[in-house]
Structure 1
Amino acid sequence: MSTVNNAISAEDKPAKDNIFQVIIASSVGTLIEWYDMFLAIILASVLSTQLFPNDGSSHFLETLAVVVSSFMFRPIGSLIFGSIGDRIGRKYSFLVSLIMMGAATFMIGCIPTYEDVGWFAPILLLVCRIMQGLAISGEYAGAVIYVAEHAPAKKRGFYTGFIQATVPIGLLLCLSVVFLTKS
C-alpha cells in the first residue's frame, strides 16, 4: 500500500510544480492580449489621426468603432476555437489562437498611414482587430481550460482566477506605458 501512495504522490508532485508554469504561460498570453486591447482604446485619438483622413473632422468615433469591433467577433471565435479544441485538441487550439493574436498585433504595428495608402489603412486595422477578436476569445477560453485541466481538483477555481486577474494588470501596464511615454 505504501508503494501505491508513494507512486501517487510522486505523480502529483510534478503536476503541482507544472501548474505554476501553466498559469504563468497562460497569464502572460492573456496579459499581452488585454494590454493590446486597452492600448488601442486609450490611444484611439492618436490612431484616428494616422489612419483616417486629416480633413479637419475628428475620426475618433470611427476609430473606436473599429477597435471595439473585435468584441463583436469574440463569440464567433469562442465557437471556432472551442470546436477546434474538441476535435483536434485544446493545446493546439490554444497555440493557434496565440499565434493568430500575435500575428494580428504585429500587423497592426505595420499598417501604413492614411496618407500612404488611403482608405486601405482603416480597412487593414479593421481586419486585424477582427482577427484579434477571434483570437482573444479562443486564447482566453483556452487559457482557462488549460489551467483547469492541470490544476488539482480542489483548487481549479483558485488557479483559474489568476487568468482573470491578468485583465486589470494589463490595464495598469497599459496606463503605465502611456503615462511614461507621454511624460
Structure 2
Amino acid sequence: MSRIGKRPVELPSGVTASVSGQTVEVKGPKGTRSFNATDDVTITVEDNLVKIEPRGKSKRARQQWGMSRTQIANLVTGVTDGFKKELEIQGVGYRAQMQGNTLKLNLGLSHDVDFVAPEGVTITAPKQTEITVEGIDQQLVGQVAANIREWRRPEPYKGKGIRYKGEYIFRKEGKKK
C-alpha cells in the first residue's frame, strides 16, 4: 500500500478541480494547470478532495498511484502559493540585473550573459547578488534555476559562482608550497 497515495489531496477555498478521462485540471487564483495520469490509476473528485486509487495490484499501478497523488498535490500548491527558487551569486565583480524580461549576468566571462525568462516563469533580481525564480510549474521553476546556475557553478576552492540559497559547498584546501 502506498502511504502517499492513500491520502486524498485537499482543495483549499478558491481552488477547483475537474477530471475528464485521465486528465485532471486544477484552477486557482494564480492560474490553471493540468496533469495527464496513466491508465493505471482512477481519479475522482468528491467535495473538496481529490482521491486516487490504483487499478489492480500490479507493481506499475502501485508506483503510479503515489506519483499521481504527488503530481496533483503539486498542481494545487502551484495554483495557490506558487513555487520559488532563490539563487545567490558569490565572487568579486559577479552581479545580476533585470532589463525587462532579460536577466543580465556579469560572471567574469569575456561577455555578459543574457538569459531570457521563459513563459510562465518570473525572474527578479532584488539585489545584485540575488536572483529569485518564481512560477506555478514546479518542474519549470527548478529547470530555469538550474539553467541559470549552470552558467557559473560554485567551485570548491574559492566558492565563487551561482549557488542555491542555503546550499553548502564543500571547500577544498588547494596547493601547498
Question: Normalising TM by the smaller chain, what interval?
Answer: under 0.3
TM score, norm. by length of structure 1: 0.23
TM score, norm. by length of structure 2: 0.24
More strand by share: 2
